[in-house]
Structure 1
């Protein structure tokens, strides 16, 4: 998004900057360029008259040269930011204008022909118009179309000015040569083509109407009549067709009026182009600002949405992590409580992890599945453990019954016999039976039960210790030293006897002989 925004803004700024540079260059140079265009045309017309009559008064020509020089001095170079083509054509115009003093000197000395003089001035004017073309070529289609029509209108006026220079030379000399008449015919065709095909059809309606009014007006008709008179070949003279005073007057009046009208129409149209260019520049600036602002807002929005989604995902991930850690912490406690025989509700103790339908939801479902599997496995293990305990207890209880019956039987036999050897054997069997009873009680305890021996009254601690001693295999190694009358509560006698017997067994087993 940042790359797209930067590229778009850069392109829009480049477009605006290009048009703005050309507009600034045109504002700086266009007015002097147009002034030079009109002044060179006027100087060319007066130079043609001077060449036609070397002895004529040249006050007007000298005055016009001063005006032309002043307009040339007003021509300043384009700004540093101006496009390359404008700078190139400015240098070309400058080179052509530096040749102007040479042309003037040739005119004053009469060492240049009418054709050469017209070509020299026309070349300078053409380079001037080329620079004008650079100003209107700003890269915007609408402005290019409007500018090309404006340039064509200037070329139409230049064609009329060239014809005027030829007429002026002929009027001053008093006759038209055949080459002059051919040039006039060519220029008439150029004017008709320019205005009828390249200017009027392509201009906006209100400006096209102004040019249409000029080419169909009275002055243009008078000009056409004067041209037809010259081209029809009426007149006499050895050196060519003579020029009547009526034709000369008719030409001067009509051309002066047409030139004034064309200048007004061009000025009006150029004003329209300037306004259109300013409007396009403003539009480009608005587009640049709007697009850049919208792009920046889009980038900011994407960043905010990304941060929001990231935060949302982080919260969900942390919630899943917390639920997994809680499951890891609480599951052993639940399993332990199940082993102790407590009745619990798994859904309450280990609630399901909430999840959605996306990838994190899949992870949540996997954790829930792991939770269910863990609970099922724990329950199965607890059930198996309980079953094993019950089995041990049943086996131990049955064995304890047999051991109890055996001990009772041994006690009866001990009472019935007085033979020392027999009694010693019976005492050994009794001792083995007591040890066997302790081992069976171990099975009962491992199975989760309690020893079955019960006492109804408190017992002396000495008797408790002696009872424990009797259940140890190497009981003769154990010496008992007790003082005082210490009694043990009846409910603790069985367990205490068992514990002391186990400790004594460990002592005699893991001690030196």
Structure 2
């Protein structure tokens, strides 16, 4: 378990696993965030669809409110069949909103509270319709009850828009809500003016106050719309909500407000311009239709933006996942390639070192000693990189070359010493040979037995000296020369010396015997 004894692949893996795990952790966290954002945008898109379903419901309720107010007004000009048809449209729109809400997997927070409030008010619609049909309540009371339901739906729409955290969604959502409030004021003003006993003549203080408040809210919401809408949306509104009908309605509304203000102040309104219900109705519907056109554009852009953000976030999460996987594969491949390169270099170094130590260096030293090879060149380790392993291989080559050179130097030193000893032995040998030849000459001319015995002893010592020189040459690696005549003469002299010692001193015939031996040895 000692980490210093770990194998190189394990050490490399331990070094790479920490940054790899850190990169994976960071990548997973980032991908998880993008997935959560994509899910959030998916929820936002469902909320956008829910808001898109609320707009038809609000518009149908506004129309039902208008028809109900006309039925309950003094003229009662509303067609009951048209009112029943409009109530069915409201029911269908309400059912669509309920289905969309169920698909959103429930609402949370303020949106859930606003939805519960709106649902309770919508549950009271059947009773309100019965009272409208039986004319058990006044026109303004019906308008007030319908307005409560519509305002609850507008509050739900505002709460849904507040759940759009992204700036690309929150701005258009707020602008759309402001336009819906402007649209509501247009419809409410239309109902208030139509509820007057005479065309364009408001005498009821409640209606006058309601119309004035509605006009103030309308102007405020238009200001809020221009504050949050983009320059392109403002230009689109100015280009769309314009024309003769819009200008005519503005003039008629100003006239009604001016007339109502005059009556409220006790002034004479005889000079008030003529007012036509048909003109007012047509102008109000025209302006409401133009505002609805701008609302549709904003709602479509909001839907497209939410879908685009969801797609971009999902694509980014997928791209990050693929990129993380590719980076991990690349890092794994690079780690394997580097590890294989390092292990290959180490394997080559190890095998080459063992081969040099066990085979190549002993063989080279043996060849140098035997004189079969005189070159000190070596084969380099087959690692030709310039990094640390290459430097280690070159260092090993230097050690190998130095060992071979030392072996060659020692062999040369031993050879020189051997040659010196052989030379000295040969010189001594030549002197001994000369000495033996001289002694043979002396022996051949010597007649004194005692002197001749001494010469034979010297001959024997010289012979031994020559044998020692021959042995020294053999030890130095030189071949032993053959026996010469002098050596044979020395051996014969030694034998003669032994015979002479066996004869009696001064005995007769000694000289003739020695001469015979000398002649016979030669």
TM-score normalised to structure 2 length: 0.66
User: Does 2:364 correspond to 1:334?
Assistant: yes
1:314 Cα offset (Å): 4.2
Deviation at 1:333, TM superposition (A): 1.5
Query: Alpha carbons of 1:190 and 1:25: their partners in 2 closer, same or farther (altered >3 Å)?
Result: closer
Q: Which residue of 1 aligns with 2:179?
A: 153
Counterpart of 1:382 in structure 2 is 411
Q: State the structure with bigger RCO (CA 8 A, min sep 6), 1 or 2.
A: 2
Give the match for residue 219 of structure 2.
192
Partner of 1:368: 397
Q: Please give the per-residue CA displacement for 1:428-469, whole angstroms capped at 9, x wherever unaligned.
A: x969985x8777666544433344x42589xxxxx9xx9xxx
Residue in structure 2 matched with residue 221 of structure 1 by the alignment: 247
Residue equivalent to 2:60: 39
Q: Which residue of 1 aligns with 2:300?
A: 271
Alignment match, 1:93: 115
Taking the aligned partners of 1:17 and 1:41, their CA distance within structure 2 comes to 35
Deviations 1:116-140 (A, max 9, x none): 63663244222331365268x373x
The equivalent of 2:284 in structure 1 is 255
Q: Distance in 1 between matches of 2:125 and 2:254?
A: 32
Structure 2 counterpart of 1:20? 42
Task: Indicate conservation of the 8 Å contact 1:200/1:208, yes or no.
Answer: no
With over 3 angstroms needed to count, the CA separation of the structure-2 counterparts of 1:367 and 1:226, relative to structure 1, is: same
What CA deviation, in whole Å up to 9, does each residue of 1:217-275 have, x standing for no partner? 22222332233223323565899999998265543332122112222332244334434
What CA deviation, in whole Å up to 9, does each residue of 1:170-213 have, x standing for no partner?
A: 559974544543443343233334335524983464x5444214
Question: Quick check: 1:178–1:240 contact (8 Å CA) kept in 2?
Answer: no
Q: 1:277 to 1:229 in 2, by over 3 A?
A: same
Cα offset, 1:324, TM superposition: 3.3
Which blocks of at least 5 consecutive residues in structure 2 are unaligned?
1-19, 492-522
Which secondary structure state, in structure 1, belongs to the residue aligned with residue 218 of structure 2?
helix
Structure-1 separation of matches of 2:65 and 2:426? 142
Q: Residue 246 of structure 2 contacts residue 283 of structure 2 at CA under 8 Å; is this kept in 1?
A: yes
- In the alignment, the residues of structure 2 paired with residue 96 and residue 241 of structure 1 have an alpha-carbon distance, to the nearest angstrom, of 44
Q: Does the 8 A contact of 1:396 with 1:441 survive in 2?
A: yes
Contact 1:52 1:172 in 2 (8 A): no
Relative to structure 1, the CA distance from residue 218 to residue 49 in structure 2 (aligned partners, 3 Å threshold; closer, same or farther) is same
1:484-499 matches, within 5 Å, as none
Between the aligned partners of 1:171 and 1:396, the Cα distance in structure 2 is: 159
Deviation of residue 6 (structure 1)?
A: 4.8
The C-alpha deviation readout for 1:40-94, integer Å capped at 9, x for no partner, is 3334445666777799979466654443233212223558884875687256414
Q: Quick one: distance in 2 between partners of 1:388 and 1:79?
A: 111
Change (3 A) 1:335 1:230: same
Listed as ranges, the matches of 1:314-463 within 5 Å are 314-328=343-357, 329-347=359-377, 349-351=378-380, 355-390=384-419, 392-393=421-422, 434=464, 443-451=472-480, 453-455=481-483
Equivalent pairs counted in the alignment come to 449
Report how far residue 310 of structure 1 moved: 4.1
Shift of 1:20: 3.5
Q: Distance in 1 between matches of 2:479 and 2:426?
A: 11
Give the equivalent residue in structure 2 for 1:202.
229
Cα offsets for 1:307-331 (capped at 9, x unmatched):
4444444444444444434433312
Cα 1:290–1:80 change in 2 (3 A) is: farther
String of CA shifts for 1:323-379, please: whole Å, max 9, x gaps: 4344333122122222223453333x4347553322222212212221232233223
RMSD: 5.0
Q: Is the 8 A contact 1:103 1:117 kept in 2?
A: no
Cα distance in 2 for residues equivalent to 1:221 and 1:6: 59
SS state at 2:482 partner: coil
Q: Deviations over 1:269-294 (max 9, x none)?
A: 43344344444555555555555555
- Equivalence for 1:474: none
* Cα distance in structure 2, aligned partners of 1:175 and 1:79: 41
Measure the CA separation in 1 of the matches of 2:294 and 2:477.
Answer: 118
> Which residue is 1:475 aligned to?
none
Distance 1:190 1:210, change over 3 A: same
